[in-house]
């Protein structure tokens, strides 16, 4: 069973690359799989560790060379032999699920804070508009009274 380390460089973080790769690994029934976001030098990369029968690994590699997540921009893919540990795809699935849930909780909390700030700003805008509308109504009422007075003077 050949083990491979694949590095995918480009705009590959926060675009769903790891779930995409997990889906592809499942499609080819890969037994051992791991993927993680890395920064190598100053470049974003996704590292993929894969271990299975040679034909499955080859199919996986050919597929990811031709396909990518919709919002990803791949600059290059490097492939090398690997001799370290690769976890089971089931273990990776659990890890990635927990990681994604953590991300949802973190960003969800941030979104709620931003939503609260937005609502507070909208309330201020609403109060400001109500004040302006009240001022305009008051001015219109004064103008209307003035017009009526002038008209009444001319009618006498």
| 101-112 pLDDT, tens digit each | 998 999 999 999
Q: Do residues 45 and 74 lie in contact, with contact meaning Cβ atoms separated by under 8 Å?
A: no
Helix or strand holding residue 29 (H, E): none
Summarize the confidence of residues 17-32 as an average pLDDT: 97
In the chain, what's the furthest Cα-to-Cα distance?
108
pLDDT on residue 18: 97
SS3 of 16, please?
A: coil
In a domain, 31, yes or no: yes
Tokens standing for residue 75: 């600059």
In a domain, 144, yes or no: no
User: Could you read off the pLDDT of 85-129 as tens digits, one per residue?
Assistant: 999 999 999 999 999 899 899 999 999 999 999 999 999 999 999
SS3 of 136, please?
A: helix
Which stretches does DSSP call E strand in 16-154? Answer: 32-40, 43-51, 73-81
Instruction: Report the alpha-carbon distance of residue 59 to residue 69 in Å, rounded.
Output: 17
In a domain, 46, yes or no: yes
Domain containing residue 41: 3-87
Summarize the confidence of residues 11-20 as an average pLDDT: 97
In a domain, 7, yes or no: yes
In a domain, 49, yes or no: yes
Tokens standing for residue 123: 């309330």
User: In CATH, what number is assigned to the domain containing residue 21?
Assistant: 3.30.70.100
In a domain, 47, yes or no: yes
Q: Do residues 4 and 61 lie in contact, with contact meaning Cβ atoms separated by under 8 Å?
A: yes
Number of domains in the chain: 1
């Amino acid at each position: 069973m050949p083990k491979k380390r694949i590095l995918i460089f480009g705009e590959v973080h926060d675009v769903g690359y790891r779930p995409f790769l997990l889906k592809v690994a499942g499609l080819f029934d890969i037994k051992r799989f791991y993927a993680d976001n890395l920064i190598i030098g100053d470049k974003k990369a996704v590292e993929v560790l894969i271990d299975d029968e040679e034909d499955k690994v080859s199919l996986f590699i050919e597929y990811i060379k031709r396909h990518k997540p919709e919002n990803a921009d791949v600059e290059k893919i490097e492939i090398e032999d690997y001799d370290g540990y690769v976890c089971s795809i089931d273990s990776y699935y659990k890890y990635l699920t927990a990681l994604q849930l953590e991300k949802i909780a973190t960003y969800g909390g941030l979104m709620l804070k931003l939503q609260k700030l937005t609502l507070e700003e909208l309330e201020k805008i609403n109060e400001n508009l109500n004040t302006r509308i009240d001022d305009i109504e008051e001015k219109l009422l004064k103008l209307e009274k003035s017009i009526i007075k002038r008209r009444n003077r001319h009618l006498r």
